[in-house]
Chains A and B, each alone.
Chain A
Amino acid sequence: MGRQQIATLARFTLLEAARTRLGWLFIVALALVFGAAFFVQQLAITESARIQIAFSAAATRLVSVFVLSLYILTSLVREFNDKGLELTLSFDLRRADYILGRLLGFILIALAMALLAGLPQIMLAPLPAALQWSCSLALELVIVSALSVFCILTFTQLMPAASFVAGFYLLARAMAAVRLISAHPILEGDSLSNRVMGHLVDALALVLPALDRFTQSAWLVDGAAGWHTVGNCALQALLYTALLVAAAMFDFYRRNL
């Protein structure tokens, strides 16, 4: 493994993020979310603090995922279009190292974003809950980073890759509800089609990360989740990131550039 090459690629990825002012963009987005949460709190008749925290946390989570995934997709697409990928691979660099280096850079960006996103929550919610929420967001963003890298390497174009990331993310977050609905349908509960659909949904759930268990606003408003829950999220994030990296490498090695 070319550790030095991986570290260099990660450093350049961070440099690119700094020069494209990703940090400032994200801070402005967070400030807008914080302002909107304050506005919602002013409108609320009752439970105003609870509404402010829940709105701020849920919106911050979505904004973080959106900004990070779009940044990764556009960064790699620009590299493809500028033939930077061909130039990079013309050096003594394995394709696996290229993926690991770029992903390491994106993961460091994700961790920095989770740190920034956690600051408003620390101001609003109890410290242990806010820390757990921020750790969970960091883990979720790590998965999103790996997913975005996998998608853009597979689809090579922004529109299909962004659509896939969005669809995958929404499905992963809604999977628990989808499973419950398919397991207990309201009508024709025992029909063959329902049973087949139920098994298909269960099978799909096996290959998706359980993002509905990550970064819940309820941790901030109803009480901390406990570090055991965050540990579970960490294991899931580690496992799924490894799977996505392996899938991205598999696809990347098969490509003729």
Chain B
Amino acid sequence: MISRDERPISAVPRVVVAALVVTLAAQIIWQSAQPKPVARAEALDAPPPISALRIASLGEPVPLAQLTTLYLQAFDNQPGISIPFRELDYTRVIEWLNSILALDPIGQYPLLMAAHLYGQVPDAARERLMFDFVHTQFLRDPNLRWRWLANAALACKHRLKDLPLALQYAREIARLAPAAPAWARQMQIILLEDMGEVESAKILIGGLLDSGGIKDKYELRFLMDRLEELEKKAEKSSSPSKN
């Protein structure tokens, strides 16, 4: 190794010192004169094909899925600019979410993002796109993904005020996801009640009770109380008005 003993600055020819000072000053002046970088929202590109992603994962698709999730999640915060979710191209977002789920089908993160992040924008069309994505993914593995469809059903009821769509989702949870807890499978009863379809709700509860599938005594009690309330409500609505 060369010795690091240094000579004094006076050993350096003056022309070299002058060149250093002049070029440094010129560089600073040049860079100062350049326009400042301007923040510009970049459009979300299409994700790479899933086969390319699998190769890029080097046999570790789960970490790549997680990294891709974080990339997508951070996309709204580009350098120097924050993009509202509603300005993202939702078709592209769904393509990314599909790719992530293809890499890691057990992961719940993309569905959480769809239901809670991208599905909460004040834009009904975009919300519907996200709920449709959640619904499609639910159909592929109902027992694993029922909770996100339940979230979508509640959002359809309260945010979109689309009770028929909420009911459709609730019915599919009851029909296709036996591993879902009772509240999720019985959500359709409340929805039917909200829709004024008291008779349908009564028939549904009666069917559930008669099927013998309900073993939990608290659940049985809850359903019986609910049936009783519905009957009272039905009587009240059918009795003639005192006025």
Q: Which residues of A contact B (CB under 8 A)?
A: 40, 43-47, 51, 80, 85, 96, 156-157, 176-181, 183-184, 186, 205-208, 210, 235-236, 239-240, 242-243, 245-247, 249-250, 253-257
Contacts and interface: CB of A to CB of B under 8 A. Distances in A.
A249 B5 contact: no
B23 A255 contact: no
B9 A239 contact: no
A256 B36 CA distance: 42
A180 B4 CA distance: 39
Interface stretch (B61-69, B73-81, B133-141, B198-206): B73-81
B49 A256 contact: no
A80 B82 contact: no
Given A246-B16, A255-B3, 11 more contacts: A44-B49, A96-B16, A179-B80, A180-B37, A180-B79, A235-B30, A239-B23, A240-B27, A246-B19, A254-B8, A256-B7
A53 to B, nearest CB: 14
Interface in B5-57: 5-9, 11-13, 16-17, 19-20, 23-24, 26-28, 30-32, 34, 36-37, 39, 46, 48-49, 51-52, 55
Interface residues of B, number: 39
B80 A181 contact: yes
B81 A253 contact: no
B71 to A, nearest CB: 14
B46 to A, nearest CB: 7
Contacts of A179: 36-37, 80
A101 to B, nearest CB: 16
A207 B24 contact: yes
Contact of A176 (B4, B37, B52): B37
B23 A246 contact: yes
Contact of B27 (A44, A239, A250): A239
Nearest to A232: B34
Contact of B2 (A178, A205, A246, A257): A257
Contacts of A178: 79
A45 B53 CA distance: 13
B16 A157 contact: no
A43 B16 contact: no
B58 interface: no
B12 A253 contact: yes
B193 to A, nearest CB: 44
Contact of A257 (B3, B55, B82): B3
Interface in B113-166: none
A44 B7 contact: no
B26 A239 contact: yes
A186 B211 CA distance: 56
19 contacts: A43-B48, A44-B48, A45-B49, A156-B2, A156-B4, A176-B79, A180-B80, A184-B80, A206-B28, A210-B34, A242-B26, A246-B16, A249-B20, A254-B8, A254-B9, A255-B2, A255-B5, A256-B5, A257-B3
Contacts of A240: 27
A51 B46 CA distance: 11
